[in-house]
């Protein structure tokens, strides 16, 4: 009897390796760097969200990229994925560890606002 392959989305996530274990800045950027991760953290700090709700708040992100970013954040134990009973969709929220990031996100957001104003 052949075993059916389990769908990719149902596998256990492994913690992602830090590319430069001796560099704190590289570790931080590996975990939260990129265009979307800080934005995901920003919205999940407000309230846990379903995938579709999160995507509605983030215009311009594709389903594929959002899925990838959420999986990476989950693997780094920043975001928790809770599958409820059907038909309720999956809900994403910040973990206790992820709750350490909103002050950083707010500082980056304020800096970004000043940067935008500088070039207006």
Three-state DSSP at 60 gives coil
Residues 1-8: what's their mean pLDDT?
47
Q: Hey, is 59 helix, strand or coil? A: coil
Does 25 score more than 70 pLDDT?
yes
List, in order of start, the domains of the chain with CATH numbers. Answer: 36-118 (1.10.10.10)
When pLDDT is averaged across residues 36-53 and rounded to a whole number, the result is 95
Element (H, E) at 84: none
Q: Is the bond leading into 84 cis (omega within 30 degrees of zero)?
A: no
Average pLDDT over residues 23-49: 92
- Indicate yes or no: pTM above 0.85: no
């Amino acid at each position: 009897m052949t075993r059916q392959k389990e769908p990719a989305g149902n596998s256990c996530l492994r913690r992602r390796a830090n590319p430069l274990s001796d560099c704190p800045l590289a570790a931080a950027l590996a975990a939260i760097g990129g265009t979307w991760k800080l934005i995901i953290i920003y919205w999940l700090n407000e309230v846990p969200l379903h995938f579709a709700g999160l995507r509605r708040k983030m215009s311009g992100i594709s389903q594929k990229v959002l899925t990838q970013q959420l999986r990476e954040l989950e693997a780094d134990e920043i975001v928790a994925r809770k599958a409820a009973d059907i038909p309720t969709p999956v809900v994403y929220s910040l973990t206790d560890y992820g709750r350490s990031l909103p002050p950083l996100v707010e500082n980056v957001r304020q800096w970004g606002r000043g940067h935008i104003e500088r070039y207006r």
